[in-house]
């Protein structure tokens, strides 16, 4: 027993003060020191108020010259506690809406006028198209009547007919006989002789004096086109009379 007491005393001597404090704080709770609260006095308090004359932002930023005002419900709302009649006097929402509606009505009137003008233009274009179709039908019927008339005269060659009696079939045979090929729209009929052309008499006399008794195939087709002020590209053999047709 004496030996055990001596060992316990030695063990107690080995426990330090720091460990004792740790045991106390663990089981008895730790006493925390309170922080000192510094009270705000008038001397230490920062002053956030300043006079209007001290505001220099107006001089540097032009946005502050016209401050934005809150628009309740886009100008339709009213603030509580303020006279409604006074608020309505300062509100321009109704006038703005009336101006917008007036502009919309004007745009609708302009659109209706444009639609009427477009309808008139369409009607005029349709009338012109109908007129052109009627003219084409008249020409086609006249050509068909002439062809039918000539078809009733079997055995009559195109050389035995006058220019007025020539049919579409006769002109086709005439071009085939002289190997005349054309490309393009509304190509006039070729001339069969110098006398059937619309050249002035002075030119016809000069042609007769030079010995041109009969026009060549390139001259038969190019001269009527040239008299119509049409652009012509003529292709023929050398010496066939292209230059004379051009002159």
Asked if residue 36 belongs to a domain, the reply is no
Q: Is residue 237 one of the residues assigned to a domain?
A: yes
Considering the domain boundaries, does residue 74 fall inside one? no
Q: Is the pLDDT of residue 215 over 80?
A: yes
Q: Has residue 186 been placed in a domain?
A: yes
Task: Give the residue numbers spanning the domain of 201.
Answer: 179-246
For residues 236 and 219, the answer to whether their CB atoms sit within 8 Å is no
Q: Does 108 map to a domain?
A: no
Q: CB atoms < 10 A from the CB of 62, how many? A: 8
Number of domains in the chain: 1
- Note the pLDDT tens digit of each residue in 1-55: 555 555 555 555 566 788 888 888 877 777 776 777 767 666 566 666 777 777 6
Question: DSSP per residue over 60-120, as a string?
Answer: H-GGGGS-----GGGGT---TTS-HHHHHHH--HHHHHHHHHHHHHHHHHHHHHHHHHHHH
Residue 37 lies in a domain: no
pLDDT > 60? residue 129:
yes
In a domain, 199, yes or no: yes
Q: How confident is the model at residue 68 (pLDDT cuts 50, 70, 90)?
A: low
pLDDT at residue 237 tops 80: yes
Residue 81 lies in a domain: no
Q: Is the pTM of this model over 0.85?
A: no
């Amino acid at each position: 027993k004496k030996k055990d007491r001596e060992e316990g005393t030695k063990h107690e001597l080995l426990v330090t003060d720091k460990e004792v404090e740790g045991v106390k704080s663990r089981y008895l709770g730790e006493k925390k020191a309170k922080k000192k609260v510094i009270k705000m006095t008038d001397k230490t308090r920062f002053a956030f108020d300043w006079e209007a004359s001290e505001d220099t932002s107006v001089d540097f930023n032009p946005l502050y010259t016209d401050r934005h005002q809150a628009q309740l419900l886009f100008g339709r709302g009213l603030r509580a506690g303020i006279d409604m009649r006074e608020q309505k006097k300062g509100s321009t929402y109704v006038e703005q809406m009336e101006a917008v509606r007036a502009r919309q009505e004007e745009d609708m009137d302009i659109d209706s006028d444009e639609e009427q003008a477009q309808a008139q233009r369409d009607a005029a274009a349709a009338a012109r198209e109908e007129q052109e179709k009627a003219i084409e039908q008249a020409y086609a019927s006249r050509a068909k009547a002439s062809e039918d008339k000539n078809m009733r005269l079997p055995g009559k060659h195109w050389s035995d007919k006058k220019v007025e009696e020539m049919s579409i079939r006769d002109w086709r045979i005439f071009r085939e006989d002289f190997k005349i090929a054309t490309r393009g729209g509304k190509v006039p009929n070729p001339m069969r002789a110098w006398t059937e052309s619309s050249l002035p008499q002075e030119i016809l006399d000069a042609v007769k004096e030079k010995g041109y008794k009969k026009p060549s195939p390139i001259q038969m087709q190019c001269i009527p086109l040239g008299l119509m002020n049409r652009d012509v590209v003529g292709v023929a053999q050398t010496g066939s009379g292209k230059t004379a047709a051009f002159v």
